[in-house]
Amino acid sequence: MLLDVREDDERAIAQIEPSLHIPMAQVEGRVAEIPRDKEVVVYCHHGGRSYAVAAYLEGEGYSPVTNLTGGIDDWARTVDPSMERY
């Protein structure tokens, strides 16, 4: 399950679907929306925010949790070059 922790304006530019969108600042209050029975892959623009959210989720007992290294920017460069970059 992909978890997008970027802001709304970033998501409007590019997104990986299907994904659940919960901006980083809202994760703690909306953690119940994140399924515990699936692997969670967290992504942001470059990987910093998603790294922090992945660590938080692990601390909350989520497993497995992965940070998408390089974020959506790296995804656009290496996996989907048609995706708009910002």
Strand order in the sheet with 40-43: 20-21, 2-4, 40-43, 65-67
Cα R_g (the chain), whole angstroms: 12
Spatial distance between the Cα atoms of 81 and 37, rounded to a whole number of angstroms: 31
From 22, 44, 72, 76, active-site residue: 44
44 catalytically annotated:
yes
- Residues annotated as catalytic are 44
